[in-house]
């Protein structure tokens, strides 16, 4: 599991370079979700560049689409495209690596960015697998702030109604969103109770930035039958760069050259 954790920090190193080059991106949420994406793509999901047209490949939706840069770094590391090209051209004029996921990029299953739609789209994919008797699983990652959107709950209700045990929704619970502390913006009380009330099996991950805990959660989700699963991952916004951690100003912050060099140094120390 050490190798997986190291890879997550390598992904962070790449995305820090990407957002610094472009002076764009949502670095705080990128850093909180990096471990989740690393575990899914390098340990859990049945996906690879040579399976892009395989009807039995697992499906993935990044519903919190503003963190596309983190997903591009993972897909590039996985070999879907030239990672260095993505790092150098993210959010640049005429680049296909734009600020939100789009299906022009290999490995992207769905355009996203308008929040609140990933769960419902995932329900459609998971239901199609049931109807076609296909073995693939569908994974959706949402932000905790994103759950202010009412459309999520329509999707959750349908997922339970159709008993979609091949659907796994992960909540990147970093407790911060663009406007401030998530519970101050719209008090959500217990997300666990909410998902259970909608008929989900719920797994809470105490440290959602710990790859070992995430692997255990996803393996348990894959073996659960009769209900969709919600993995509630308690993460830290800005994880891995101390001056960014738990600071809402880094939801969409731009690093100075000095801040960038400091971030690189801190990540390289964690990788060593």
Q: What is the pLDDT of residues 180-214, one digit of tens each?
A: 677 767 766 689 999 999 999 999 999 999 999 99
C-alpha–C-alpha distance, residues 238 and 6, integer Å: 17
Q: What is the pLDDT of residues 125-168, one digit of tens each?
A: 999 999 999 999 999 999 998 999 899 999 999 999 999 999 99
Residue matched to tokens 């440290």: 207
Helix, strand, coil percent content, the chain, rounded in steps of 5? 50, 10, 40
Q: What is the pLDDT of residues 19-35, one digit of tens each?
A: 999 888 889 899 999 99
Which whole number is the average pLDDT over 240-247? 91
- Give phi and psi for 107, each to the nearest 5: 95, -15
Give CATH superfamily name and number for 2-271.
Thiamin diphosphate (ThDP)-binding fold, Pyr/PP domains (3.40.50.970)
Residue 206, sorted as left (phi over 0), alpha (psi -120 to 50) or beta, turns out to be alpha
* Token pair belonging to 225: 């039958």
- Give phi and psi for 48, each to the nearest 5: -170, 160
Work out whether strand 176-177 and strand 180-181 pair parallel, antiparallel, or are unpaired. Answer: antiparallel
Q: How long is the chain? A: 272
**For 9, which DSSP code?**
H
Alpha helix (H) ranges present in the chain?
A: 2-22, 27-39, 68-78, 83-89, 118-132, 151-161, 182-185, 191-197, 211-223, 257-271
Collapsed DSSP state (helix, strand, coil) of residue 260: helix
Collapsed DSSP state (helix, strand, coil) of residue 177: strand
CB–CB of 239/31 below 8 Å? yes
Q: What is the CA radius of gyration of the chain?
A: 17
What was the pLDDT predicted at 106?
98
């Amino acid at each position: 599991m050490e190798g997986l954790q190291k890879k997550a920090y390598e992904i962070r190193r790449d995305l820090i370079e990407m957002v610094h080059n472009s002076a764009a991106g949502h670095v705080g949420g990128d850093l909180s979700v990096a471990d989740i994406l690393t575990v899914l793509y390098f340990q859990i999901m049945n996906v690879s560049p040579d399976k892009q047209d395989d009807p039995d490949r697992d499906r993935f939706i990044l519903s919190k689409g503003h963190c596309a840069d983190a997903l591009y770094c993972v897909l590039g590391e996985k070999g879907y495209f030239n990672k260095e090209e993505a790092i150098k051209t993210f959010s640049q004029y005429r680049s296909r690596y734009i600020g939100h996921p789009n299906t022009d990029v290999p490995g992207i299953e769905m355009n996203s960015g308008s929040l609140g739609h990933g769960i419902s789209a995932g329900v459609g994919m998971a239901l199609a697998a049931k109807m076609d008797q296909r073995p693939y699983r569908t994974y959706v990652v949402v932000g905790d702030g994103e759950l202010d959107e009412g459309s999520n709950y329509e999707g959750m209700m349908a997922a339970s109604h159709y008993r979609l045990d091949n659907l796994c929704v992960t909540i990147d619970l970093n407790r911060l969103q663009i406007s401030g502390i998530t519970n101050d913006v719209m008090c959500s009380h217990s997300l666990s109770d909410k998902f259970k009330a909608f008929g989900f099996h719920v797994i809470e991950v105490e440290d959602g930035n710990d790859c070992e805990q995430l692997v255990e959660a996803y393996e348990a989700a894959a073996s659960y039958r009769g209900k969709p699963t919600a993995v509630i991952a308690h993460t830290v916004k800005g994880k891995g760069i101390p001056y960014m951690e738990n600071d809402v100003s880094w939801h969409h912050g731009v690093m100075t050259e000095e801040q960038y060099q400091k971030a690189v140094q801190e990540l390289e120390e964690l990788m060593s």
